[in-house]
């Protein structure tokens, strides 16, 4: 079983508004990302909420996801990863960690990553675009307890450093693995990419 943890607990301070609830096409950013996941071969999706948790949860109420509330979201991203690990089913053999503000990540990319992870002997997979590592990432559930008890000061970077020989770098053509949304200009960039993509679909019809 492959489980996805969507990190959706942040305060969006740099954006100035809750970025996960901003419009993205006919949906919101977080709904778009969740829909990409549920359309993929991921078995279960856990969305970790914190700041504005009730609003984000309500936005996803009609979707087949589990909500985990991170009461310690102010302490950083690792706390949300841990919250998701505590919530997920013990049958999960691998974990896909997805940023809640990365709407360029597609079902196609997720499935490509999962298929590659299943065929490699490595226990961690990172997407690589033009030599740079991005998100989302996949790791084996064998690292669950290690993540729950280690790396307080460095987050998942500590896992990558401790097990650098167990990482498979998957070269991808999707630049979106390097792009999340922190500032208003980032949001405008993602909207422009979505418009370009939609216009491409219309032109090919």
Residue pLDDT tens, the chain, 205 long = 999 999 999 888 889 788 999 999 999 999 999 999 999 999 999 999 998 899 999 999 999 999 999 999 888 899 999 999 999 998 999 999 999 999 999 999 999 999 999 999 999 999 999 999 999 999 999 999 999 999 999 999 999 999 999 999 999 998 989 988 999 999 999 999 888 888 765 455 5
Pull the structure tokens for residue 43: 């078995």
122: number of Cβ within 10 Å: 17
What predicted TM-score, i.e. pTM, was given to this entire model? 0.94
Domain boundaries along the sequence of the chain: 2-204
Pull the structure tokens for residue 133: 């590592």
Burial class (CB in 10 A: 0-12, 13-18, 19+), 47: buried
Identify whether the C-beta of residue 40 lies closer than 8 Å to the C-beta of residue 14. Answer: no
pLDDT at 51: 87
- Specify the DSSP class assigned to residue 17: S
* Sign of the C-alpha dihedral computed for residues 119, 121, 125 and 130 taken in this order: negative
pLDDT at 197: 83
Q: Can the peptide bond before residue 182 be classed as cis, meaning omega within 30 degrees of 0? A: no
Query: How far does Cα 140 stand from its chain's mean position?
Result: 16
Both ends of the chain: CA-CA distance in Å? 36
Residues 6+ apart with CB under 8 A from 57: 47, 49, 67
46: number of Cβ within 10 Å: 22
Burial class (CB in 10 A: 0-12, 13-18, 19+), 13: exposed
pLDDT at 70: 95
Which architecture, in CATH terms, is 2-204? Alpha-Beta Complex (3.90)
pLDDT at 56: 95
- Cα 23–Cα 96–Cα 184 angle in degrees, nearest 5: 30
Identify whether the C-beta of residue 147 lies closer than 8 Å to the C-beta of residue 106. Answer: no
Identify whether the C-beta of residue 49 lies closer than 8 Å to the C-beta of residue 57. Answer: yes
Identify whether the C-beta of residue 20 lies closer than 8 Å to the C-beta of residue 30. Answer: yes
């Amino acid at each position: 079983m492959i489980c996805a943890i969507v990190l959706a607990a942040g305060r969006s301070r740099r954006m100035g508004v809750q970025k996960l609830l901003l419009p993205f096409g006919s949906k919101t950013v977080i709904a778009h990302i969740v829909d990409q996941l549920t359309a993929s071969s991921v078995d279960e999706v856990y969305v970790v909420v914190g700041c504005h948790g009730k609003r984000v949860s309500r936005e996803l109420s009609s979707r087949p996801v589990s909500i985990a509330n991170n009461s310690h979201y102010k302490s950083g991203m690792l706390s949300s990863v841990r919250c998701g690990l505590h919530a997920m089913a013990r049958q999960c053999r691998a974990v896909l960690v997805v940023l809640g503000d990365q709407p360029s990540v597609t079902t196609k990319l997720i499935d490509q990553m999962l298929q590659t992870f299943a065929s490699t002997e490595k226990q961690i997979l990172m997407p690589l675009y033009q030599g740079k590592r991005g998100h989302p990432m996949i790791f084996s559930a064998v690292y669950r307890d290690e993540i729950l008890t280690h790396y307080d000061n460095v987050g998942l970077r500590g896992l990558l450093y401790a097990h650098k020989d167990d990482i498979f770098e998957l070269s991808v053509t999707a630049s979106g693995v390097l792009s999340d949304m922190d500032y208003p200009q980032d949001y405008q960039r993602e909207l422009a990419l979505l418009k370009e993509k939609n216009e491409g679909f219309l032109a090919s019809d």
